[in-house]
Structure 1
């Protein structure tokens, strides 16, 4: 909004030229989202605590240490979405369609997560929204978003998937691209949701991935940089760097309240939304495979659940002491902060590997 209002006046006041630069507006989005989180956080948490009473139901079959978290309010993702949305609307070019598409996916997935959290709290159980209904909603939103992305993407990118480490390699998937894009958005959303099982565990990896995709979006949207790095240029995608900045700021602000011991949980409201945002950004920037590298921690958590379920159904034996993977290490005796910080380190390493794909061609 500030770009649309103030940049046209740059001829009258030279300082307003600053709003032309994505780097300036990205920094502004980070700080704005962070400040909104800091100032609105206490009020939002008090409201959640008042409305929820006994807080999020805790699984009795989980690690015993989790029973001490009884009474902690959930749906803290509302704070993330509030800070992210306001900051995005304030600092981005609102005529850019990619901003609205990614914001649509983020808020829609957040709404699905809110419904799930609300049922958990109101019904006092850990099941929430029926899995099939939740999945159907996510798929429907992803299909709509993918159709718009395909229409906006230049040829030959509209139905193609780029391959990292290889310059000018595009896999033309035809209508199969829609299946792949939907899988990426829904998969990323649920992968972050599975990872969000310990205080702060999912928040920092999401921030790291958002920081990486802020740089990717900037490079992909800049014709000169895209040509130099030999990556595929997507006109207009650079504006998503500002959105990513807002996501980093919102995540950082939420972490203030979610750091161990958390005084509020993100809930599906936040985890589904943040994962969906990462998935949508990877589809727009044609870096879907890179998301699997940068978000490798989320992939590991998801695979651990798949392996655990498959092994138990086929052999009656469990591979891990408990899935997702972070619970396995808790069961082995690792303290919660140890698991969280070590997983953060893994996420940072994977982010560096993902960034290397921009240059190694």
Structure 2
């Protein structure tokens, strides 16, 4: 709430505080705050996880080099969530409703992941929540996010029109407007939008979750994806840049730049402890929260169709699992030696550190391509 205190309340009495009105300034401070929170409280959180014996269960059918990771503290995603949300609440404008929507999405998906991790730890097995229970929790969170955005749409604070990469003016609306003239069926107009939000959020959260299998892999890709989203939220909320790039201009999304900056800072800080060899794993509480946050930000700025590029490695990891399962069910044959695909490369003999570094490079290439689409229209 520092923005409210320093700018809205104290600025009239001390004019140098006007600097706090600038989103860029507050984004930098939010990122630094998130980084410092992670670095300073990280050792305490890790020691407490060890004290409570919250250790990772490692599958014995995977790469044998991973067996030595058994017992490494997990649920470190709690640290990430704290380090994202505290700076966001400190530096963002609390009057912006989109801030509260992404905060809710992060907490809601993190809660599903927390429940999954908790069951794994208590039961001492790698299954956690049943797939149906896990998907139901994620879908419920997604429906609530969609409902909140629909309320904003009714007040003309949000648009259900979708931005399409490479096209300037083609923006298909996900709302069925012909239901507007039938009052008792008006809610059906939003069914495509709600279904779309559920699809995007389930896809993004589970894609990050599947990527979290090697030390630093998922969090490194998250840093790159969050960095790209920081740029996209800033230009989408900036009147000059949005007009120049012919984007949908949405003033409210400007404050989401601060949330994305916090996500970058928190992820860099967590990588300090999660880099190979990892001192702590994020667990589902971290991967689902990050995936939900990334997907929600993309929805708020209407750039969902860029997600396959913003999080290209996440998508490849998810597709590798889908293809592997589908191939085995249909043909009783596997496409990869092991899925997700990062394990396939390990089975080919690649060192874990080499897989991680090369996947980071791929994530960076995808993210840079996503940003080039802003101009290629």
Aligned equivalent of 2:187: none
What does residue range 69-148 of structure 1 map to in structure 2 within 5 Å? 69-148=69-148
**8 Å CA contact retained: 2:149, 2:158:** no
Distance change (3 Å), C-alpha of 1:356 and 1:140:
same
Q: Distance in 2 between matches of 1:293 and 1:39?
A: 33
The match for 1:189 among 205, 215, 220 is 205
For 1:202-213, what aligned pairs fall within 5 Å after superposition? 202-213=218-229
In the superposition, the TM-score normalised over structure 2's length comes to: 0.93
State the 1:357 CA deviation.
1.2
CA distance in 1, matches of 2:126, 2:272: 26
Select 1:318's aligned residue among 334, 337, 352: 334
Q: Which runs of 5+ in 2 are unaligned?
A: 176-189
Q: Structure 1 residue 11: deviation in Å?
A: 2.8
Given that 1:120 and 1:128 are in contact with CA atoms closer than 8 Å, whether structure 2 keeps it comes out as yes
Q: 8 Å contact 1:151–1:158 — kept in the other structure?
A: no
Show CA shifts across 1:9-64 (max 9, x none).
Answer: 223212201110000000001100000011100000000011126x1111011111
C-alpha distance in 2 between matches for 1:71 and 1:127: 16
Partner of 1:309: 325
Distance 2:49 2:268 in 1: 20
Q: Which residue of 2 aligns with 1:160?
A: 161
Map residues 186-335 of structure 1 onto 2, 5 A cutoff. Answer: 186-335=202-351
Alpha-carbon deviations, 1:49-81, whole Å to 9, x = none? 11126x111101111110011110100001101
Distance 1:84 1:179 in 2: 27
Question: In the aligned structure 2, how far is the partner of 1:149 from the partner of 1:23?
Answer: 25
- Specify the SS of the correspondent of 1:282: helix
Matched, 1:27 2:28: yes
Q: Secondary structure at the match of 1:202?
A: helix
State the distance in 2 between where 1:65 and 1:10 align. 57
Deviates more, 1:294-303 or 1:158-167: 158-167
Partner of residue 59, structure 2: 59
Alignment gaps of 5+ in structure 1: none
**2:194: which partner in 1?**
178
> Structure 1 residue 156: deviation in Å?
11
> Any conservation in 2 of the 1:160–1:177 contact (CA below 8 Å)?
no
Secondary structure of 2:214's partner?
Answer: coil
- Please state whether the residue corresponding to 1:74 is helix, strand or coil: coil
CA distance in 1, matches of 2:77, 2:16: 36
Which residue in the other structure is 2:42 paired with? 41
C-alpha displacement at 1:155, in angstroms? 5.9
What displacement does 1:157 show? 6.3
User: Is contact 2:157-2:252 (8 Å) kept?
Assistant: no
- CA drift at 1:160: 2.3
Which region of structure 1 is more displaced relative to structure 2, 341-350 or 231-240?
Answer: 231-240
The CA deviation string for residues 138-191 of structure 1, in whole angstroms up to 9 with x for no partner, is 111111111211332476963322101110211122231221111111110000
